[in-house]
Structure 1
Amino acid sequence: MATEVVPRHAAPAPPGTPPGAAPGPRHRDPGRVLRLYVPLGLYLVFTLVPFYWMIVFALRPAGSTSPVPWPITFDHFATVWNDIGYAVFFKNSVIVGVLALLFTTVIALMGGYALARFRFRGRGLFMVVLLCTQFIPGAMMLIPLFTIFRELKLINSLWSLVVADTVFNLPLSIILMSGFVSAVPFQVEEAAMVDGCSRLRAFFAVVLPQLRPGLIAVGSFAFIHTWNNFLFALMFISRQDNFTIPVGLSYTIGEYSADFGALAAGGVVAALPVVCVFAVIQRYLVHGISAGAVKG
């Protein structure tokens, strides 16, 4: 008796297909294409159009109304960098962003490890308080923070921005980091301690290498939030040589006019570091967010 040989990777027959009939080709669902790609395309256009116009304003000559930046000019970049003092603003933003990133990551690592590994009275309440702080707008804390920084002689100092941004980044960073630490099995750490490691050495040798996606995710969020923060820099800094990028760019807008070319050029330069950082770390960032969001 002849035996029919069915291909190993043949697609299953649709419901209602008679026995023994060859399965037909799989057809793409047009409704699914519309439901998936049309909203994504609209969202992509809505997101990219402002960036396109920013690039157009930055590259086309002053007074031009062409929707295409031609002829291309870099006069706006020269104006921003040399005449407005953008180089100083850029340096100040880098200093504040890197320091806030380091402090936020180190403190969040210690706090997240404590919340994930130790059980103590008030742990649940402490987590709730951390979550509730995310509902407090930063504008409500301006007067208390200004009073504190004035007493500490930190007004017009970049350290005021570092401290304020670090404090506001910490609650969410600690919660995320506790999820990352919880994803690392404690049995691995115990095995290292059984082999003779102290708890601190076991943490650095076993746990810390596995927290790299979490550290990158927390650090990137802290850096981006600090880089884009306008309110604190506007309230705590009044000396132009200590301005950061958001405050410095706001001075291109006058009372009766605005230099849109210089403003767009400054926005392009401000966005480039962020885009480059995300292009490098995006695979770690996606893995870190997913790991820290479901554990804890």
Structure 2
Amino acid sequence: MSVDRATLPGSVHEPVPEQRPTSEEPPAPRRRRKPFRWEIFVPLTLYLIFTVVPFYWMILYAIRPAGTTGIVPWPLTVEHFDTVWNGIGFGTYFLNSVKVGIAALVATSVVALAGGYALARYNFRGKALFLIAMLGTQFIPGAMMLIPLFELFSLLNLTNSLWSLVIANTVFQLPLSLILLSGFVRNIPVELEEASWVDGCSRLRGFFLVVLPMLRPGLVAVGSFAFIDTWNNFLFALMFISEQDKYTIPVGLNYTIGEFSVDFGALAAGGVVAALPVVLIFAVIQRFLVQGISAGAVKG
């Protein structure tokens, strides 16, 4: 009797049952919800409220009609801005602050760029002592240097001049700027410069072609700090400037404060005008600022 091997169980010729495709798909894995981090969000929320409320109050006084007390600014008015800009002459103060801020930015960036490169690439006698001296200057308040600086500027005939503000602010910004840029230069491999020298570039040309483009975040950080600190500086402008048409914004805001009364609307409008450029600058350069600070703080 012959046996059909195809019908035997376990036979190599056993027919495999046809598998029909199923339309049902396996259920997607459920995403786990991240736990709410109270220890992070609560302090950040409180800090945000603490920061935003004064700004809202300032804007509220600036666009709310005088004599009203509502927390919602309605109806809106621009009379306080007109009083500040045309009545007090805030446009002149604004222009003076822009001139001084840009000049201090350029001077600080140029000097810090040269000094930071020298500190990062050269070893010279007294380098450690020089760094300690620069760090030591950060512990000296600017108010303690007002009288010596005033005597110095008087000898140089720079009192009542915007250049006195540029020089004073640049000097006080240089120590931190030098440290930041020197740390940033250390993170750039020196082999890149050496490759440019092999290709025929001088050291100066190699610096401009290779190193300088890579220092953009550091220069943005240094320049922004110099501009904002100069923009907000009050003591130097109050001490070295005596003519009203040369006042900067911080000193010009004093004209909204009378002997027996304070024009809160005009003061708030001037504060909005003074804060607006700083807010716009940070909004534009924030990514360069963070990158420049973090790169300059790490030793390569």
TM-score by length of 1: 0.90
Task: Look up the match of 1:9.
Answer: none
1:188-230 CA distances to partner (integer Å, 9 max, x unpaired)? Answer: 0011001111000000000000000000000000000000000
Q: Secondary structure at the match of 1:28?
A: coil
Larger radius of gyration: 2
- Equivalent residue, structure 2, for 1:162: 166
CA-based RMSD of the aligned residues comes to 1.3
CA distance in 2, matches of 1:94, 1:24: 56
1:115 partner amino acid: L
Counterpart mapping for 1:242-253 below 5 A: 242-253=246-257
Aligned identity (percent) is 70
Q: Is 1:135 matched with 2:150?
A: no
Structure 2 match to 1:86: 90
Q: Deviations over 1:242-272 (max 9, x none)?
A: 0000000012111211001000001101111
1:84-138 per-position Cα deviation (integer Å, ceiling 9, x unaligned): 0000000000000000000000000000000000011111111111111100000
Cross-structure match for 1:60: 64
The 5 Å alignment of 1:95-114 reads 95-114=99-118
Deviation of 1:41 (Å): 0.4
Within the alignment, does 1:26 sit opposite 2:54 as a pair? no
Q: For 1:144, which of 140, 148, 161 is the aligned residue?
A: 148
Counterpart of 2:15 in structure 1 is none
Runs of 4+ in 1 over 4 A off after TM superposition: none
Task: State the alpha-carbon separation in 1 of the partners of residues 299 and 79 from structure 2.
Answer: 51
- Give the 5 Å matches for 1:116-135: 116-135=120-139
The 3-state SS of whatever aligns with 1:255 is coil
Matched to 1:131, the amino acid is L
1:263 equivalent in alignment to 2:264: no
Shift of residue 25, structure 1, vs aligned partner? 5.3
Q: Which amino acid aligns with 2:276?
A: L
Which runs of structure 2 are paired with 1:211-250 in the superposition (5 Å)?
211-250=215-254
Q: Decide which moves more: 104-113 or 33-42.
A: 33-42
**Residue 46 (structure 1) aligns with:** 50
Counterpart residue identity of residue 93, structure 1: S
Counterpart-to-counterpart distance in 2, 1:25 and 1:196 = 59
* In 1: Cα distance, 2:112 partner to 2:33 partner: 50
Q: Tell me, what secondary structure is at the counterpart of 2:219?
A: helix
For structure 1, list consecutive stretches of 5 or more residues without a partner in the other structure: 1-22
**Cα distance in 2 for residues equivalent to 1:24 and 1:273:** 47
Number of residues of Structure 1 aligned to a counterpart in Structure 2: 273
Query: Gaps spanning 5+ residues in structure 2: where?
Result: 1-28
Q: Distance in 1 between matches of 2:207 and 2:33?
A: 53
Alpha-carbon distance in 2 for matches of 1:207, 1:242: 39
Q: TM-score, normalized by length of structure 2?
A: 0.89
